[in-house]
Amino acid sequence: MNFKLLMVFVDDDKTEKILDMARAAGATGATIITSAKGLGLEKLIGLFGVELYRQRDVILILVEERRADFVLQEIVDVGDLDESLGTGIAVMLDVEKAMGLTEHVKALEKQHPLPY
C-alpha cells in the first residue's frame, strides 16, 4: 500500500479544525509539532527592533495514497489556506515506505470505505 505525507503549516488556532476534518476525511491520525517558528516574505519587527517569528503548528498526516488528494483539499478548505500571505501552507510528499500501519489501514477500510 502506498502513502503520502501531508505537511500542514498553520497558526495554532486552526489546528483542531484541521485535525477533526482530516479524521473525518479518512486520515487515521496525525503528529503535531507545536511552537514551530516561521518567517514570511516581510520581516515582522517587534519591540526594540527585534525580529519576531510567527508561532505555527506543523501537522504531519500520513494518508493512504488513494485518499490523499481528497484529504489535502479538505485541509485547504477547512483551514482557509487560500493563496494569500499568512494563511498557512500544505504540501504533499511521496512516502517511499511506511511500516506499522497494517491495523490502521484495516480500521480505515471499515470506517471509510472507498467508493470504488
**Residue 103 in domain:** yes
Per the structure, the complete domain to which residue 40 belongs is given by: 3-111
Question: What's the number of domains the chain is made of?
Answer: 1
**Residue 33 in domain:** yes
* Average confidence score pLDDT of the chain: 84
Angstrom distances, CA of residue 50 to CA of 12, 37, 40, 53, 76: 22, 15, 15, 10, 32
How sure is the predictor about 115, in pLDDT bands with cuts at 50, 70 and 90?
Answer: low
**Residue 116 in domain:** no
User: What's the pLDDT tens digit per position in 33-52?
Assistant: 998 877 666 677 777 777 66
**Residue 51 in domain:** yes
**Strand 51-52 with 89-95, pairing:** unpaired
CB atoms within 10 A of CB 66: 13
How sure is the predictor about 57, in pLDDT bands with cuts at 50, 70 and 90?
Answer: very high
**Residue 22 in domain:** yes
Which domain CATH number covers 73? Answer: 3.30.70.120
CB atoms within 10 A of CB 64: 22
**Residue 100 in domain:** yes
